[in-house]
Structure 1
Amino acid sequence: MASSANFFSGGPSLYVSSPQEQGEPDVSRPISVKFTYQSSTPDLSLVGRPSQDYRALHDRKLKKVREVLGTIIAESPLESFVMIDTLQRFSIDYHFQEEIQAFLNRQYKCVMDSGGSIGFDGDCNLFTVSLCFRLFRHNGYNVPTDMFNRFVDKHGKFRQSLSNDLKGMMALYQASYLGIEGEDILDQACVFTSKSIHDSLPHLNQDQASVISYSLKHPYHTSLTRFLVKESIKNHKTKQGTYDALLQELGEVNFNIVQILHRNELKKVFLWWSDLGLAQSLKFARDQPLKWYMWSMVTLEDPKYSDQRVELVKPVCFVYLMDDIFDVYGTLEELVLFTESINNWELDATKQLPYSMKIFLQALYDFTDEFSSKILEKHGWNPMNSLKTAWMQLCNAFLVEAKWFASGHLPASEEYLHNGVISTGLHVVFAHIFFLLGEGINKESVDLIDSNPSLITYPSLILRLWDDLGTAKDENQQGHDGSYIECYMNEHKNSTMESVREHITNMISNTGKKMNKEYLLPSPFSPSLRKAVFNAARMVRLVYSYDENQRLPILEKYITSVLSESFNLHKED
């Protein structure tokens, strides 16, 4: 079965290279990002720290923006929402979390005290309501959808006259992605706005149509902000507000400085991977340290988590390699012994295993010991038992799939999914993230992590279903494969491929709504962990967007943009 269809499957091997130069690098100097099936150790000699000039420029811009934000928050709630939206789109909102949180807390109280309605000095147009609704929910505030009732007719349909308000329609379109199950008005909003906006495109000038089309393809809530920063800044340049140019300038210099941070992290990842030596010992396995790092980079997006991002790449790597051991290397007899070794967490049972399996197990055990020691020292909790549990669950799920394949058994679709959400490997990754963040570690939260709560199973299900839609073409590996489609069609003999794919698409959509609800509910988990979960789910679509050449052109484009292409900046304020 589909043991290859995990969180980290697919895609070309990606690496970074740069010319050798001496001296401190300029943050605007690009490095070359190349994509190939052949792995290579990159020359990252240009990687270093941003120059003093750029750090000083950043600090001056940051101070000015902070002053502007404070003034606007004091004077205009509506303009504050607009500015906060821009800060988030430019991925610079992390500098102002205290101000943003305090503002949203006050405004949420006002909304709930007024019965769930939004209106600033009588201004409650479609744009205002939609923007505020989206920002509230995006930041974890469960505001009701009743505020949209004013825009529907007596039949419960959105008034057709709203289609003339393009700005409002775009805001409503973006808001519609924050719905939870049962909120039919948001489902209706998505259909209504999509059709109306598409119909309006021929009547717009080329620049307007380009911006609108891009927004339709990349809804904010389902997209990774870091990948869209450049396009957001570009699309924002037409705005001439009192602070727009200042936000753009801060966004550009901040992007370049964070880019240098990511390059330094990537250098550490490649050095670790090279020193580990598993690429030489496991010739059958895929060798993709850059791709592993990208998962880490987008999942823990806040720049302050630099050490955590580097550390997170390591369990990502081991999940990936374990998948390949089961999918393309081991015999069933060997995999049974391999799983026994994991379940006992020892090497004694490995005497009959091939050298590649032995060396992998030794590396995994060594890493887990080292990781646990770091967490114990930093956060006062030993995660060893939780990590062992996570690895055992993954290995046993892989073995179930291997036995299905070996016997020719086709499981029931629900049985397949129950096992499949574990074999994605997500629960292993999120267990490591939980301990790396070190927020809210106690017996209750640890027991919950160990039980794979819905916060983890929902994105795992989304990944499994996305993969099984058939969009992933494994990179030239001849491993075992299978899918939910196959299991479902075996149970529903009269179903067609088209109807099954529609069924899976609806399952993905409904699971996304469940994730939205999970984000709004009280939780023992920190906001940072929940954001990481959502970012991982957002990455899934990119990882499975293969072209006919078994490549990931969209992801490759984003990686080039984020790691290689900098903004050209003027060093004078």
Structure 2
Amino acid sequence: MIASDGIDGVLNLYRCSQIGFPYESEIIGAAQSFSSRGLAQILSNENLFHLLDSRQREEIKFALAFPRRCLLSRMEARSIVRRLWPSSGLRRKCLELACVDLEALQKDYQNEMYALERWLDEQRFEESAFPRKRLPKLFIGAAMSMFEPQFSSYRTTFTKISCLIATMDDLFDLPTSNYEGLCHLRDAFQRWDASPVENLPQHKAIFKSFQQNLTEIAATARTIQGRNVLPYIKEAWQDVLDVFLIEAEWRISRHIPSFEEYLPVAVTSSTAIASLSTFILILGMPITDETLRFIGKDSRLLYLASLASRLTNDVVTSASEEAEGKLFNAARCHLKDDGNCTREDAVVTVKEMIDASFRELEHEMFRCRGNVPEECIRAVLGWVQAMCISYRKLDGYKSMKDTEYEELVKDYIGS
């Protein structure tokens, strides 16, 4: 039983246990297990529950619902304002300033969303290919991590490329998609020319949109980096098309690869590496070849970000994707390798891999500081956190049933 005067200590221990390096996994894991059980006990124990005021209850509920891996910085800020409002004296003045800041940013976000909606209309995608209602769900991932006004270009670029990724990913996953047509789309990326998809309207629209937007990003990046980065960007996205095609082959043949075969394909197809290695070039600071050793497309940092993102996705979406005929995911591949384990055991193993990848990611971010601009590290962490929060319960990007995520998006961006 936890004493009433120890509640704040348990809450702080839980928060601290969210950050740990790989070599601390045993002690950090024990602290996290103890503190999370303790907080759950506080909420369920009637005697302790009544000792808390409403603000403390909400603080504990929020901490348990949104651990660090799901806690985008502006989510936490909004939660604190709500818990402490209206308050009095100096604290009230600080809260009023925070509200003014949040409202001003929200106006910026709404203007950016209007521009993105116009951009989407110009892409000439079929409505079924990318429904407009998914756009805010992509935008919020950038808006909650790189929230300041000077990162407007980053937010809109993030959303545009995420929209194109989602459209192309859906095309590759469609049971009706012709494999030959997908090969032509891959060839268009390899040649950087639309002629292979000239007679495939949807494929051509996707390629032309990617080509135009990546070329525009490269032009913007050139003014910041002082060099032509288009070949670097093209190579990253050509890698994505290569693995998308491999996954299409697996889907069509109903092949379940070994985990060793699956993982490198899955890490690249999550698109975190290609996306982040592109986005960091337009954050406003020069990225040298030395910096790219730490945060480029071949870096350990982006590999870990992609690994954590993909495995998190797999845990939540595996059942629905298997029902649609996409039989390969981390748990299913592990199950194939180890015929003695159950599906539940395989999922537990994947979750342990997610925990381990986050601990190593924390260590890698710490190791990179001093060699990588802080804004770039924020962008990487923000990407992973956005993935974790969108896949916290369901596929938040596609599903309309995750009402909590829907409300979060509406609340943050505004109507």
Which TM class, normalised by the smaller chain length? Answer: 0.7 to 0.9
In 2 relative to 1, CA 286–396 (structure 1 residues): closer, same or farther, beyond 3 Å? farther
Measure how far apart 1:275 and its partner are: 2.1
The one-letter code sitting in structure 2 at the alignment partner of 1:190 is Q
Q: CA separation in 2, counterparts of 1:450 and 1:514?
A: 17
Normalised by the size of structure 2, how large is the TM-score? 0.88
My pick for the range that moved more, 309-318 or 386-395, is: 309-318
Partner residue, 2:191:
344
In 2 relative to 1, CA 408–227 (structure 1 residues): closer, same or farther, beyond 3 Å? same
The equivalent position to 2:17 in structure 1, one of 159, 176, 179, is: 176
Measure how far apart 1:225 and its partner are: 2.4
Partner residue, 1:151:
none
Kept in 2: contact 1:375–1:435 (CA 8 A):
yes
The one-letter code sitting in structure 1 at the alignment partner of 2:49 is L
Partner residue, 1:217:
65
In 2 relative to 1, CA 199–320 (structure 1 residues): closer, same or farther, beyond 3 Å? closer
Partner residue, 2:304:
458
Measure how far apart 1:382 and its partner are: 1.8
Measure how far apart 1:449 and its partner are: 5.0
The equivalent position to 2:331 in structure 1, one of 465, 485, 491, is: 485
In 2 relative to 1, CA 210–290 (structure 1 residues): closer, same or farther, beyond 3 Å? closer
Kept in 2: contact 1:173–1:194 (CA 8 A):
yes
Determine whether 1:275 maps to 2:93: no
In 2 relative to 1, CA 540–221 (structure 1 residues): closer, same or farther, beyond 3 Å? closer
Determine whether 1:541 maps to 2:385: no
The one-letter code sitting in structure 1 at the alignment partner of 2:376 is L
Partner residue, 2:212:
366
Measure how far apart 1:264 and its partner are: 0.9
Q: Deviations over 1:291-312 (max 9, x none)?
A: 2222332342233211221222
Q: CA separation in 2, counterparts of 1:310 and 1:451?
A: 21
Structure possessing the higher relative contact order (Cα contacts under 8 Å, 6 or more residues apart): 1
Q: Which has the larger radius of gyration?
A: 1
Determine whether 1:167 maps to 2:8: yes
Normalised by the size of structure 1, how large is the TM-score? 0.65
Q: Deviations over 1:487-544 (max 9, x none)?
A: 1111111101221111111111111101111121135321111111111111223222
Q: Deviations over 1:380-424 (max 9, x none)?
A: 222201110111010001011111222333211122111101101
Measure how far apart 1:473 and its partner are: 7.1
Determine whether 1:263 maps to 2:113: no
Q: CA separation in 1, counterparts of 2:106 and 2:155?
A: 14
1:222-371 pair list within 5 angstroms: 222-237=70-85, 243-279=90-126, 283-287=128-132, 288-328=134-174, 330-351=177-198, 353-371=199-217
Partner residue, 1:33:
none
The one-letter code sitting in structure 2 at the alignment partner of 1:257 is A
> Counterpart of 1:499 in 2: which secondary structure?
helix
Determine whether 1:529 maps to 2:379: no
The equivalent position to 2:288 in structure 1, one of 442, 446, 457, is: 442
> Counterpart of 2:22 in 1: which secondary structure?
coil
Partner residue, 2:252:
406
> Counterpart of 1:313 in 2: which secondary structure?
helix
Partner residue, 2:39:
197
Flag structure 2 segments of 5+ consecutive residues without an equivalent: none
Q: Deviations over 1:196-220 (max 9, x none)?
A: 3333333132623343223222235
Kept in 2: contact 1:297–1:309 (CA 8 A):
yes
In 2 relative to 1, CA 334–537 (structure 1 residues): closer, same or farther, beyond 3 Å? same
Q: CA separation in 2, counterparts of 1:489 and 1:473?
A: 14
In 2 relative to 1, CA 374–186 (structure 1 residues): closer, same or farther, beyond 3 Å? same
Aligned-pair RMSD on alpha carbons? 2.8
Partner residue, 1:552:
402
In 2 relative to 1, CA 449–230 (structure 1 residues): closer, same or farther, beyond 3 Å? closer
Determine whether 1:513 maps to 2:359: yes
The one-letter code sitting in structure 2 at the alignment partner of 1:517 is H
Measure how far apart 1:479 and its partner are: 6.6
Q: CA separation in 1, counterparts of 2:61 and 2:272?
A: 32
Q: CA separation in 1, counterparts of 2:40 and 2:192?
A: 56
Q: CA separation in 1, counterparts of 2:293 and 2:62?
A: 43
Measure how far apart 1:448 and its partner are: 5.7
Q: CA separation in 1, counterparts of 2:276 and 2:395?
A: 29
Q: CA separation in 2, counterparts of 1:318 and 1:522?
A: 30
In 2 relative to 1, CA 269–371 (structure 1 residues): closer, same or farther, beyond 3 Å? same
The one-letter code sitting in structure 2 at the alignment partner of 1:553 is T
1:39-188 pair list within 5 angstroms: 164-183=5-24, 184-188=26-30
Kept in 2: contact 1:163–1:197 (CA 8 A):
no
Kept in 2: contact 1:473–1:546 (CA 8 A):
no
Q: Could you say which structure has the higher helix fraction?
A: 2
Identity of aligned residues (%): 21
Partner residue, 1:393:
239
Partner residue, 1:156:
none
Determine whether 1:561 maps to 2:411: yes
Kept in 1: contact 2:142–2:382 (CA 8 A):
no
Q: CA separation in 2, counterparts of 1:296 and 1:235?
A: 24
Q: How many residues align?
A: 402
Q: CA separation in 2, counterparts of 1:537 and 1:478?
A: 26
In 2 relative to 1, CA 310–522 (structure 1 residues): closer, same or farther, beyond 3 Å? closer
The one-letter code sitting in structure 2 at the alignment partner of 1:365 is Q
